[in-house]
Amino acid sequence: MFALCVVAACGGGGGGGGSASAFNTTEFQTNYGLARISALKAYDNGGTGSGVTVGIIDSGIDLNNTEFTGRIAAASIDIRDNSSAQDTDGHGTQIAGIIGAARNNVGIHGVAFSSTILAIQVADSTTLAFDDAATAINTARTNGATVLNLSFGNAAGVSTAFQNALQAAVNAGIVVAVAAGNSSTAQAEFPARFANCTGQALVCNGFNAQGNMIAVGATDTNNNLATFSARAGDTASAFLVAPGVSVVTTALGGGTTTVSGTSFSAPHVAGALAVIRQKFPTLTASQAVTLLLSTATDLGNSGTDMVFGRGLLNLGGAFTAQGLAVLPTGTKIGDSSVPLGGSTVKLGAAFGNALQTNALLGKSIVLDSYGRPFSTDLGSAVLGGTIDTGITGFVRAPEGRNRTVATGGTGTLSLSMVPAVQSRSDLLTFGNVRPDPATERVDSAFFSGSIGAATDFSLALNASSVRLFDDIANFAGDASPFQGLEFASAPQLTLVGRGDGGGGSYFVDPRTRITLGFMESAADPLTGAPGNSLMQAALTHGLAFGPVVRVGIGRTHETATLFNTSASGAFGAVGDTDGTFLNIGASIPIRAGLAAHVSYTDVSAEALYSGDGYLKNWSTVRASAFSAGLTRKGLFRKEDNAGIAIYQPLRVYGAQADLTIPVGTEPVPGGAIHYQTERVDVTPSGREIDLQLAYRWQPTDILNAATYGVIMLNPGHDNTAKTALGAGLRLWLDF
């Protein structure tokens, strides 16, 4: 699972008034509108409006009110006579309170409680000249406002000067929240009705909102449309509703007052736009508007409708990542990227839990569909191998029926037969006849023969690598009671598993044997990529005083993996790998029926190419495996075989790679992606040590039985993993 949160803040607060958020104070609760627009999530994630200037074109502001101390822009003015912006009406102060009243444990606080207010006085309670408002908009534009609140309107239209000023503002990237009007009409008043205009004639009169305007209607405490509010009408696609009935806000002269009107719905949206522009500076103006429109809570008829438009403002929803989260791979926002869900590192068992707790992975960002950075921990993108106690393989029935055929001379052919058609009822729908259930095909074949007295050879078709390379795989001989121990003795065999190949052996003398073999696994059926291969040579020698020693060297070639590790998406690709495996081992007879066995493998591997991704430039990878144990034949009866072994599966003990992670962005639209690169260890935190007890016997000529138990300490080479246990009993018949 990937958890996404706004960069640099991942709060636990939600949206409603019942949240445990530290921002859910009495001051917050006094204006129910804050909870109704789900503002807590924004606050919990660092949304304050700080640094954003909101222009309020209205009746001015109460300059001495402590709710605005230190946050009234110096350019605030009464545009009509270039005098003080001191409010004498109260309307502008009430709007300013909803937008930006301070969070100071007094009265209420605004949606964007740290924003700066540029108050431009153009009206009192009875008069407003659109040409004065035009001058005010131009003043706001030239004095740094990036958000405008217009809580006035006229059903008949606006002046040419006003339309030109508003056009200049949206062209400059200013976002505008406009009250829809209080006349209960089916259409918003002007200028709100301009909100979704794109330059057409008639209603729009050539005006182009550039996607930077929102018309705002009013809802009551039950999310019903206020009886006085204008409906969305033909502005529906750029229309939101917000609380506008019985809203508590800042009063002229101090304290609070309760107000109603779309004049007080619009500042909820203006404040939300200020918070969005502060917290997500990579958004363009139109993206900020689209974000609020697309995350609104749907009200009324499903989808955009002619009453509620896009729905109720949901500031908390806007703080949630939108669309498909992607990992950037380019230099700028909007450049190349890769879906987060398709970017993984799948570690082979030898790497254990490597990288999963790497601190740099926890600093990563992803981008949402708006190009906004959200924090995520890419540690969850590093997938470790599953912990396998071996029980499944131990108790699993053979996949096919084995047949051994004498070929004359000293040769034998072993065949594994499976039904010719298995679970292919789909074929029957095309008129095919169901095959005879007794019909079989060859699943695998293994031929062994001799040339003279000193040379043996073998050929394998989709056969087990353990059988082809039995001289290095069999820890305690062909009758070994152990389960899976051959892969601790010769871990290179796990890289080919089953495949096609062949080999030969030459007896230098009765005690000395040299073997050479080659195997290649099948090609990937989906990609057609060739399989892995193994070239293996070994020398086995029996010493005069009893012990048998062996030395082997294997050369592996992995296709697009490194010890079965692969990467995808933003992590790039692991290319082909060449590995060299050095095996040494010995079987030491102690007394009749009792023998000790030891093995050690050391590995060196080179990644030939590791792609252009977050994980690349691998060092030489070093790994090892070892095992030691005792076997006893005839422990309880003549035909039984018991054993105890302690072993370490293949474990990487030396590996480094360059890890490059996106950690931030330049805070502007289309800004640069910031990456951080570290040379990291790709080794596990622990060392898996397994203890296995095994017993095998043959009660009758055809009945076989085996038991198996294992204790795994630090399974998966993870020092935090709990001890794993496994045990099983298997019975089978030989015919």
pLDDT means per 10 residues, the chain with 735 residues, are 64 49 95 97 97 97 97 97 95 98 97 98 79 97 98 93 98 98 97 96 95 98 97 98 98 96 98 98 97 97 97 97 95 95 94 94 96 94 83 67 66 70 48 57 84 90 90 75 89 92 93 95 79 95 90 95 92 93 94 92 89 90 96 86 95 96 96 97 96 90 87 95 91 74
Say what the pLDDT of residue 426 is.
47
Token pair 């109260």 is found at 90
Token pair 């490597």 is found at 354
Cα-Cα-Cα-Cα torsion 385, 386, 391, 393, nearest 10 degrees, comes to -50
Q: Is the CB of residue 223 less than 8 Å from the CB of residue 245?
A: no
Q: Which helix (H) or strand (E) holds 373?
A: strand 373-375
Q: Comparing C-alpha atoms, which of 298, 292, 250 is closest to residue 270?
A: 292
| Given 58, 132, 470, 500, the catalytic residue | 58
Q: Based on the residue annotation, tell me whether 717 is a catalytic residue of this protein.
A: no
β-pairing verdict for 703-713 and 455-464? unpaired
Say what the pLDDT of residue 397 is.
62
Q: Comparing C-alpha atoms, which of 262, 257, 136, 132 is closest to residue 188?
A: 262
Q: Comparing C-alpha atoms, which of 397, 336, 399 is closest to residue 662?
A: 336
- CB burial class (10 A; 0-12, 13-18, 19+) of residue 152? buried
387 φ/ψ angles, rounded to the nearest 5 degrees:
-80, 120
What pTM, to 2 d.p., does this model score? 0.85
162 φ/ψ angles, rounded to the nearest 5 degrees:
-65, -45
β-pairing verdict for 175-179 and 147-150? parallel
Residue 449: which residues within 8 A CB-CB, separation 6 or more? Answer: 407, 409, 410, 411, 412, 456, 457, 458
Bond preceding residue 191 cis, omega within 30 of 0: yes
Burial code (b: 16+ CB inside 10 Å, e: under 16) for 284-306 equals bbbbbbbbbbbbbbebbeeebbb
Say what the pLDDT of residue 568 is.
92
Q: What is the CATH number of domain 391-423+437-733?
A: 2.40.160
Judged by DSSP in three states, 356 sits in coil
Say what the pLDDT of residue 387 is.
81
Q: Comparing C-alpha atoms, which of 347, 351, 344, 346 is closest to residue 621?
A: 351
Q: Is the CB of residue 62 less than 8 Å from the CB of residue 86?
A: yes
Say what the pLDDT of residue 400 is.
62
**Measured distance CA(677)–CA(666) in Å, rounded:** 17
| Given 19, 115, 263, 480, the catalytic residue | 263
Say what the pLDDT of residue 438 is.
59
Q: Is the CB of residue 545 less than 8 Å from the CB of residue 319?
A: no
Q: Is the CB of residue 679 less than 8 Å from the CB of residue 661?
A: no
Per the structure block, which two tokens stand in for 180? Answer: 């829809």
**Measured distance CA(680)–CA(687) in Å, rounded:** 19
Per the structure block, which two tokens stand in for 696? Answer: 């095998």
The domain spans of the chain are 26-318, 391-423+437-733
Q: What is the DSSP letter of 25?
A: -
Specify which residues 595 forms β-bridges with: 589, 631
Judged by DSSP in three states, 43 sits in helix
Say what the pLDDT of residue 399 is.
60
- CB burial class (10 A; 0-12, 13-18, 19+) of residue 554? buried
Q: Comparing C-alpha atoms, which of 233, 236, 225 is closest to residue 304?
A: 236
Q: Comparing C-alpha atoms, which of 71, 100, 179 is closest to residue 133?
A: 179
Per the structure block, which two tokens stand in for 271? Answer: 């404040």
Say what the pLDDT of residue 408 is.
62
Distance from CA of residue 382 to its chain's centroid? 10
Cα-Cα-Cα-Cα torsion 469, 474, 480, 485, nearest 10 degrees, comes to -110
| Given 91, 109, 268, 717, the catalytic residue | 91
Q: What is the CATH number of domain 26-318?
A: 3.40.50.200
Residue 356: which residues within 8 A CB-CB, separation 6 or more? Answer: 379, 382, 384
Which residue spans within 592-697 are E strands per DSSP?
594-607, 615-616, 621-633, 641-654, 656-665, 673-681, 689-697
Query: Which DSSP string do the residues of 166-227 spell out, in sequence order?
Result: HHHHHHTT-EEEEE--SS--SSPPBTGGGTT-BS-SGGGTT-B-TT-EEEEEEE-TTSPBPT
Q: Based on the residue annotation, tell me whether 91 is a catalytic residue of this protein.
A: yes
562 φ/ψ angles, rounded to the nearest 5 degrees:
-135, 105
Say what the pLDDT of residue 402 is.
67
Region of 206 please: left (phi>0), alpha (psi -120 to 50) or beta.
left
Residue 437: which residues within 8 A CB-CB, separation 6 or more? Answer: 419
Say what the pLDDT of residue 16 is.
46
Residue 348: which residues within 8 A CB-CB, separation 6 or more? Answer: 385, 561, 562, 563, 564, 565
Q: Based on the residue annotation, tell me whether 489 is a catalytic residue of this protein.
A: no
Say what the pLDDT of residue 423 is.
46
Number of H helices, E strands in the chain: 14, 35
Per the structure block, which two tokens stand in for 500? Answer: 């096609």
Distance from CA of residue 372 to its chain's centroid? 16
- CB burial class (10 A; 0-12, 13-18, 19+) of residue 594? middle
Q: What is the DSSP letter of 651?
A: E
